[in-house]
Amino acid sequence: MRTFLITCGVVLMLLVSCATTPVQTADLPPCATVPEVAAAEREVPADSSPVEAEAETDMPIVAETPVLVPDSIIHDSSEPVESETPVVDETPAVVLGSIESFDAIIEGSSRQIPVTIVLPAGSDFSPLVVIMHGHGGSRQENGGFAGIAQALAEKGIASVRMDFAGCGDSSVSFIENNMTSMLEDARAAGLWAVETQPVDSRRIGLLGYSMGGRLALVEASRGEFDYGGIALLAPATMPYSTQENIKNYVSAYRTGAYEQPWYGSTLTIGSKWFEDLFITDKVMNNLPPMGNVLILHGTEDTVVPRDSNQKVADALGVTLVDIPGADHGYGFYSDQSEVTALVEETISEFFAASL
């Protein structure tokens, strides 16, 4: 009983710090770095689920990571920049009409990252969109992301998308999945694309679906890079500091992991997955006004509450766009071709106008 009370005290201290400390851009590290929480007595591996975090101490310690696109790699040349990020494995390019697509495995800061790059036909230094998938999803999202990448390429826009830890073709356990690790991997993929592919480092956009939308907001809220456009498809902006998540966090903290039921299987989630989400709740509640942002929400989406997306749209000063008849799968996981087509068209036209 004494151990349980001490653990609950740790949780309460974390929640009080998240709820009472106003978010300033100076509070968080450059380029939307998520706080990394260090555990005082033990190390717990990281994971990812409807929200992502890993635990490590009573009070959050913010760790800095490099910006996604530092000034040192901005270039005007028509020749691609040599990459400092080694490609471990690369599959042959697939030519879709005049559009080129290929997969690669790149070295991230802590793990190998499977990525897919799609390049428009015959373009020199195209705009680039970094695409981030949802919790427990993959860089394919059942073919949904391939369709969006194709639509972007048809408008002359390149894209790169990645599998986060424990997802898709990732070779590591899902316990390494959390907001911190996902942001690291998204930045690594974007940096690799800028350094090795014919893309323009001055014209970069972010696209996030569900949990990936939360990631995009955290990244953009840092204000370290002027993203030309940010598209959010049902971003997971709802609060995660709920009684149920706190209970599951305590379980993960005490035992090393929480087994989350997930569409017929389970995801092994570490305490940091929860901690990062608790901390980023205050980011969602204190978002600064941003420029060119598109937020889409399905009228039949029961996973992400519409009012949470409306609150974010109001804070950002943008209009929330409804997708009629769309549930949280947005046609990616259901037979709703008209929904998928509308999503592809809306997102590609947005980036064509903003990048």
Specify which residues 145 forms β-bridges with. Answer: none
Partners of 115 in the β-ladder: 104, 162
Residue 277: both structure tokens together: 């989400």
- Rounded to an integer, the average pLDDT of 180-208 is 97
- pTM for the complete prediction? 0.76
Is 161:131 a contact under the CB 8 Å cutoff? yes
Enter the tokens of residue 118. Answer: 């799609």
CA–CA distance, 149 with 127 (Å, rounded to integer): 12
Joined tokens for residue 201: 């480092």
Residue-wise pLDDT tens digits, 316-346: 999 999 999 999 999 999 889 999 999 999 9
Beta carbons within 8 Å of 214's beta carbon, 6+ residues apart: 51, 179, 208, 235, 236, 237, 280, 284
Closest CA relative to residue 14, chosen from 241, 319, 352: 241
How confident is the model over 208-220, as a mean pLDDT?
Answer: 98
Query: Burial level of 221, CB count in 10 A (0-12/13-18/19+)?
Result: buried
44 close to 253: Cβ distance less than 8 angstroms:
yes
E strand or H helix at 226: none
Q: CA–CA separation, 233 vs 213, rounded Å?
A: 7
The topology under which CATH files domain 2-66+87-354 is: Rossmann fold (3.40.50)
On the question of pLDDT at 48 being above 80, the answer is: no
Residue 271 has pLDDT above 90, yes or no: yes
**What digits encode the pLDDT tens for the residues 22-31?**
433 333 333 3
Give the position of tokens 């509308």: 342
**Amino acid identity, position 307:** D
Per-residue pLDDT tens over the stretch 142-182: 999 999 999 999 999 999 999 999 999 999 999 999 999 99
pLDDT digits (tens, 9 = 90+) for 117-134: 999 998 689 999 999 999
Cβ proximity of 296 and 304 under 8 Å: no
Residue appearing with tokens 């590290």: 29
Residues ≥6 apart with Cβ < 8 Å to 162: 113, 114, 115, 116, 132, 139, 185, 186, 188, 189
Average pLDDT of the residues in 60-73: 33
Can you state the percent helix, strand and coil of the chain, rounding each to 5? 35, 20, 45
Of 45-49, 82-86, 159-163, 303-307, which gets the smallest average pLDDT? 45-49
Task: Answer for the pair 232, 294: CB distance below 8 angstroms, yes or no.
Answer: yes
Query: For residue 109, what pLDDT band results from cuts at 50, 70 and 90?
Result: confident
Please tell me the predicted confidence (pLDDT) of residue 63: 35
Length of the chain: 355
298, two tokens: 């399905």
Which is nearest to 121 in space by CA: 98, 102, 147, 150? 98
Choice between 175 and 38, residue whose per-residue pLDDT is larger: 175
